[in-house]
Structures are given as structure tokens and as C-alpha cells.
Amino acid sequence: MPLQIPDPVLGTWTKGFPAHAAGLRLSQVGDADLHLSDLVTPVLTVHEGALAHNEETVFAWARERRVLLAPHGKTTMAPALWQRLLDAGAWGISVATPWQAEVAVDAGVSTVLIANAVTDLTAVRRLGALLAADPDLRVLCWADSLEGVAILARGMHDAARPLDVLVELGGAHGRTGARSVEEGERIGKAVSDASGLRLAGVAGYEGPFGPDRSDASVAAVDAYLQTLVDLHARLEYPHGLRPILSAGGSAFPDRAAAVLAAAGDDVDVVLRSGAFQIHDDGFYSRMSPFGPLVGTAPLRSGMHAWSRVVSQPEDGLALLDAGRRDVPFDLDLPIPQGLRGEITALNDQHAFLSLTGDDTVAVGDVVRLGLSHPCTAFDKWRVVAVIDDPDAADPRVIGAVATCF
């Protein structure tokens, strides 16, 4: 079903777009004959070709392994990009908070997985109202404590339709989640006994157990994923319900698909990998298994920032106009492309570019930056330009997407 795609009117609030684009609706950007050189630095762009390649690669891989995808919509919070995922065959869209879930429901997403516990009673009641208003809507959330189940039960006790709940299992030094299979079993029974709730499966997040792709990290991730299978085997589900096993961030979806398959054919394995659509030139370029490791083409970075040299106060040092308000910095600093050098630091509105070798830049030059971590790139932009080819002399702007952060 087509989603409701935001179509705002561009104006001075639209960072990166030129003054002469003011008054255009977002849907008109692709026909406005804009090029990268028309945009105002700093600016974030996404690359249509990379998006299409990444979507095709990952969904084909998932179909071959008979796993479902509910990509994390919180990565971009862009309904136009969610639409592409749903069109490619996504089972649903994952989110992290009740507010993000409401954005997804309002956009028209029919299956929304909240990959988190919901412990705000008002939010629980709102989920009940959303379910009552739309018989075709399915909302699922997690629970990792008896106290959390009690809050869900209180909010849903007189709801018209039950809320699907997955028991979240974690592990020592992990993030959230029950800390043992036995504890998870008690939580599952509490969900089953609660009016207004329906036990729907088991979920977790393996990312904290593997900081890299070393053999030791993969073994730790596999051991954790096996506990999800073990907990699933101990739970009793409602008659006729097909339970869900859900894991799979963007670093270890291959391990999640392999280990969770041991649960058998009567379970839906739902992976929540969200970064694959955009990918990056940093963390996920190092961590993603897609490529020779799983027998697919490598993913391509679908985002870049473009930043202008505003100062060159010393030999070998240039200051760019992109800073912490414009580009991600939580996992890696931006990577200058097309010249030898590195970004050594970011201020609010400046990047420190240290040049190496004989490469030089001049004040006014534009530098392309590879980025790390799409989740903390998109949250800094309300509108993102879509370009045809980042390697072109002057890429053409073929569209734009709005975010809902």
C-alpha cells in the first residue's frame, strides 16, 4: 500500500537547498533542473544507484535464506525510503520508540515492530487506540521484565484488540533484555496470562556481543543467538499463531539468519537490519557481511556530505564548513575522498582537514566526505537531496526525501 509521503514546501528552513528552490514542493525537486553545484554547503546527499543496489542485494539474499526483513526505520525516519523497503518486500518496519511507531502508523505502515520495551502507560494506551482504529494494523513490542509486562497489561486491559509482545532476551554486558532463559520464560508466561496481550515470540539484539568480525566475536554472537532459540523452545504460544524470532542488526544479519534457522520451519525469522539501505564508508563498510563473506556483491555507500573550505590558516591544515551539526561523529570521523588527508576533529560548524603528501586545497573548494553511521547522519537533516551519480563532475539532483526526526 502506498505510504503517505511528506511533501513540504521548501524554504529557508531547508538546509542545503538554494534560495531559488524556495516555494518548490519536495515532489517537484526532481524536475527543477538542480545540480550539486546549486546546493549550499554543507549538504548531505544520497545516491539513487547505491540505494537500488543495496536494496536488491539484501532482499535477494533474504529470500534465498527464507528470512523476513523489518528494516529499522529509525535509521532514516524517511517514509519515502521506507516505501522503497516495503516495495522491495519488507515484512514490516522496525522502530525504537512509541513516537516513531506513531509516525510509521500515520504514514500507513501496516506492520510496525517496536524493538524496545514500552513502559510509558500513556503510550501503551495510545497503541491500543491505534489498533482499535485499524483492524489491518499490527503493532508488536518487547518486554524484558515482569514490571514491564504489568505496565503493558494495565494499558491494554480493556483494549479492543491485543498487543503482540515479544520477550526480549539479553545477556551479560549486553544492552536491555532479560539476563537468562529462565527469566525470559517467566516473562513469557506473564504475557500469556495478561489480558490484552498476546505472546508473539522472542527478540534480542546481538550487536553488543561482537565489536568486530573476529572469530571470537562471531562465536560470542552465535552463542547469544542460540539463547533466543532456546527460550523460544520453552514458550507456549497461542494456538494458530506463528511465532517470531527477531534479531539481526546490520553487522551480523548473516549469523542471525544462520543460528535462528535452527528453530525450525514453523517460526518466522525477522531481521531488523536497517543500515544496509544507506550503508556507509566507515563502521558498516568494516562490519557488514555482504560481499564475499555471504556470496553477494558488496554494498555501496549511499550517502556523502559535501563541505567547502572556508579557511587555510596553516600549511597542511584546512577548515571545512561541516561540523557536528551536519555530519555523524559517534563511530568515526568523516573521511575526505578524492584527496590525501584526514579529518582530525569536528567543532559545531567546522571540520579540521589535515592534508598529507602533496595534495592541496584552496579556499572555496568543495570536498566530498565519506561518512560513518547513517543513523546519526540523517537525524541532522530535515530534507536530503537525492543525486544520480556522486562521481559525476556536477551530479544532478533527481529528487529529495524528508525526514521525520
End-to-end C-alpha distance for the chain, whole angstroms: 23
User: What's the pLDDT at 219?
Assistant: 96
Model pLDDT, residue 249: 84
Average pLDDT over residues 354-373: 94
Give me the mean pLDDT over the 362-386 stretch: 97
Q: Is residue 3 predicted with pLDDT exceeding 90?
A: yes
Q: How many Cβ atoms sit within 10 Å of the Cβ of residue 227?
A: 20
Beta strands in 133-275 (DSSP E): 138-143, 163-168, 197-203, 244-247, 268-271
In the numeric block, which cell numbers belong to residue 63?
529470500
Strand 197-203, strand 43-47: pairing: unpaired
Return left, alpha or beta for 46; rule: phi > 0 is left, psi -120 to 50 is alpha, else beta.
beta
Q: Is 119 helix (H, G, I), strand (E, B) or coil?
A: coil
How far, in Å, CA of 179 to CA of 282, rounded? Answer: 31
What b/e sequence results for 365-380 when a residue is b if at least 16 CB atoms lie within 10 Å of its CB, and e otherwise? ebbbbbbbbbbbbbeb
Indicate whether 116 pLDDT > 70: yes
pLDDT, averaged across the chain = 96
Per-residue pLDDT band for 153 (boundaries 50, 70, 90) equals: very high
pLDDT for 1 beyond 80: no
The pLDDT of 27-32, averaged and rounded, is: 98
Residue 95 confidence (pLDDT) above 80: yes
Rama region for 66: left / alpha / beta (φ>0; ψ in -120 to 50; rest): left
* Alpha-carbon span 269 to 248, nearest angstrom: 10
292-350 pLDDT tens trace:
999 999 999 999 999 999 999 999 999 999 999 999 999 999 999 999 999 999 999 99
pLDDT of residue 218: 95
What does the pLDDT read at residue 357? Answer: 81
Which residues, 6+ apart, have CB-to-CB distance to 14 below 8 Å? 21, 22, 382, 383
pLDDT at 355 over 80: yes
Instruction: Tell me: pLDDT of 84 over 70.
Output: yes
Phi-psi region of 298 (alpha: psi -120 to 50; beta: other; left: phi over 0): beta
Residue 358: per-residue pLDDT: 84
* The pLDDT of residue 279 is above 90: yes
Residue 101, CA distances (Å) to 7, 123, 139, 144 in order: 20, 10, 8, 19
| 103 neighbors 404 (Cβ within 8 angstroms) | yes
Work out the average pLDDT over 350-369.
94
Average pLDDT over residues 362-378: 97
Provide the whole-model pTM. 0.96
pLDDT tens track for 219-258:
999 999 999 999 999 999 999 999 999 998 889 999 999 9
Integer Cα distance of 227 and 153 in angstroms: 26
| Contact call for residues 356 and 343 (beta carbons, < 8 A) | no
CA dihedral (112, 113, 116, 118) positive or negative: positive
pLDDT of residue 350: 98
